[in-house]
Structure formats: C-alpha cells, structure tokens
A and B are shown apart, each in its own frame.
Chain A
C-alpha cells in the first residue's frame, strides 16, 4: 500500500516552519468521549477552529511504509488553551497499516474498504465540548470548542489520544500519527488539494471494483491514474482477473 506515499512525503513541507510539539500516545490521557454528536452553540463556544470561513482541512493517509513508526500526536502552531478566536485548522492523520492487498495485487476491494473504514473513524470520535462537523464534499473539518472544555484544560494532546484510541480499534492499523495544525504559515490550500487527491485516489479504487472503462482516453479518472503510480496497474490487473 504505497499509493499515498508521495502525499505523506509532502506533509512536512505544508504544516508550517516551526518544529512540532510531539506527544507519545497515552490512552489514559485521552479526553472524555461524549458518546455521540453533541451541540455546542455559538454562545457556548470559546472559538471555532476553521470558523469565520478560515481554512479547515482534514485528511487521512494510509501506508504500509515506515513513515509512522509509533503512535504520536504532533501539534504545529497554538494549542487549544492558547487560541482566543476563530483560527485556520487542519487535522492530518498518517496511518501505518498492515498489508492491505487482499488475495492478489489486483484485488482492490479490501484495499478500498480498509481505507474507507480508517477514514470514517473521524465520524466516531466525539470529544466532549469539542463539536466536530465534517464535510466530505469540501474536505472541511470545523470544530467548535466550548468555553467549558477550555476551562477544564482541553488540549490537542488529549483529543489526539482519543482519536488514536479509536483508530487502534481497526485491526489493519499498526501505528498512527495525528497531526493538528493551527500555524499561520501552514499551506492550507495545498493541504486541501491533497485531501481532494486522496479522495480521488480512493474513489478510483472503488471505480475499479465497479468495473470501469478500459479505454483510458474516455475515462474521467485518467488524470489521477497518470499522477499516481501504481493505480493503472491495479486497474488493468483487476480487468484481467474479471475476464
């Protein structure tokens, strides 16, 4: 599973010039989970990450490479206790996975499902007083942080621990790095492009499953295949198998 490796390699160039603050995974330091979607009204919120039309990007990249050798939380920019108003925000998740190739290199179905399952973890994490709303269409993830949560000392380290706890329930996940970005000099526009690219690559895997056209000239996903090494091989391998 190396489809996303070029994008993983880019992450360090996008997140701002300052060094990150790194925290090792500690499940005991996870922020309380509210158990379901919660409502933090504007009047109850201290600020909104990605609010007031500020950038708000989210994506997850999986790889069987050794980019992520341990479970960690990295924070670029101000932590939750130092934010006073709406701020740009990104949450990037790098996941090291076991071999996802299934029964053969051309069998993309388990790969697609595994990637989707890992991505969908974001819909099952509900840090208390940290109201997340995510749009798959725009790749946005905005977060209203309640005054109460700030008062109680919520931090990215604790929220990150809660995320990792959830990711690690997936048997395919070996290790996870959750990266929170609020740095002003981060390249959020480029992150958004990468989020879209990841989505397109994943969709392409799904299209392969559905049995797409074999003529690259008439295929709407040609651009993605041209750019991502290995996709075309997966596609034609699958077609061959179906015949």
Chain B
C-alpha cells in the first residue's frame, strides 16, 4: 500500500449512524482537498452509502464475483494473471466516478460455495486500486473481520462508531479487540453518535480515545428518512461538525 494513501474505516453496531458519518467524511475530504483522489467503498451489504452520497451504482463487487465464477464454471480456465486483470477490468466498469469522488459498492457476501480464489483476486485489485487514491473511506458492516477478509487487510484510521447505549459501546470495544488481533490499523478513535449532553458522563468506552460526541439531530434523522444526500446537509449540522472534529483529532484535516 502506498504510504501516502489514508484508508479510513468506520465500524460499529448496526443502526448507530455509521453510514451518515462515513458520508460526512467523504464530503469533508472533498471540500478540504479539492482535486485529490477520494474513493468511497460501501462494504455494508445494505449499500446505504449510495443514498447518503446520492449515487446509483449499476453493479457491485458481488456481481463481478458472480460473473467471474460463472466464466470459470463455464469451462473457461484462466491463469492467475488473467483472473487478476479480469477483476481489474470489471472493477473499473463497476466503480462510479463522480466529479469529486469515486464510489465502489461491495454488495452482499457470497451466498453459496467457496470462491476464495476469486475473492482473493478481487481483494488484491481493491488494494492495488486504493493505492492510487489519496483517501479511501470504507463504510463497513458490523464485523471488522469482514472488512479484513473481503476488502482490505489493513487500514490507517479506524473509527469506531457507537450510540450511548451500553450495547453499542461494548460492540465498539469488541471490534477494537478484533482489530488489535488482526493488527489492521494505525490509529483508532471513537465517535459517540446521537448523544444527549446529560448522558455523556455515563458513557464508558475502555478501548480507545473518544474523539467526539455528536448530539441528536432531528433534521438529519428526517433527511435520512427522506433519503437526502449528506452533501445537502448544512455545514453547521451536528453530524458535519462532529465528523469534522473527529477528522481533525485524527490529524486528517
């Protein structure tokens, strides 16, 4: 991996606002570093980042995997170099290129059968591709090990997202433990989302520094329901301000 590439990943319990924060990160990075190469990877099977960023991909990595597997099963054997280039060819067809950022959706995990070889080639291509970007932001599903297995061996900045609930905080601690075991990040911090001021003293997270508390934001919640892109949020909205603070503390802006 190119050392200049910053790879940011958000992880945490389902429903804590990971996707909105990942989308806010993309927006802030595009504003702070116009002209730089920024890649958003939606690694959540629900593909919620598409709505948050206002993009509509036609295919996902899962679709590519199926096509490659079909061609292999069709009796068309391929050598490693062909598979790797086939994966690269198709990923470029799948990757959306907007004016200020690019977007890649991972899609659902494989449903049946083990296509480890194909997955390995796809992951290799993502890693190679990511190295050509300045910033990569991955919106992960709950399990960090899924990102490690399907998307990227190592990230530079791991953001654990939680709400104030004890369950959310415990999930954040667990994700951190798994990430420690996999040795898969350089820096790690926590964002506590949808929090009321009076409950802040009660929040306890042992595993990593809390970067910021993002207050409840009714407008954003309504926007979320309406499917409004994060690019249409006011700059002073809590999610934008909180995410900006977290990026600043991680020395990304």
Contacts and interface: CB of A to CB of B under 8 A. Distances in A.
B92 A133 contact: yes
A218 interface: no
A216 interface: no
B132 A39 contact: yes
A41 B85 contact: no
A134 B92 CA distance: 11
Interface string B54-91: 00000000000001100100011111011001101110
A136 B82 contact: yes
Interface residues of B, number: 24
Q: How many residues of A sit at the interface, in one of the four size bands?
A: 10 to 19
A41 B129 CA distance: 11
Interface string A20-39: 00000000000000000111
B220 interface: no
Contacts of A206: 77
Given A43-B99, A137-B71, A123 B132 contact: no
B88 to A, nearest CB: 6
A235 interface: no
Contacts of B216: none
Nearest to B132: A39
A116 B78 CA distance: 11
Given A133-B92, A136-B78, A136-B85, A37 B102 contact: no
A11 B138 CA distance: 47
B128 interface: yes
Interface in B207-224: none
Given A38-B132, A39-B129, 9 more contacts: A37-B88, A37-B128, A41-B102, A123-B81, A123-B85, A136-B85, A136-B86, A137-B76, A206-B77
Ranked 5 nearest A-B pairs via Cβ: A39-B132, A135-B89, A136-B82, A42-B97, A133-B89
Interface of B: 37, 67-68, 71, 75-79, 81-82, 85-86, 88-90, 92, 97, 99, 102, 128-129, 132-133
28 contacts: A37-B128, A38-B132, A39-B37, A39-B129, A39-B132, A39-B133, A41-B102, A42-B97, A116-B79, A120-B79, A120-B81, A123-B81, A123-B85, A133-B85, A133-B88, A134-B89, A135-B85, A135-B89, A136-B78, A136-B85, A136-B86, A137-B67, A137-B68, A137-B71, A137-B76, A137-B86, A203-B76, A203-B77
Interface of A: 37-39, 41-43, 116, 120, 123, 133-137, 140, 142, 203, 206, 220
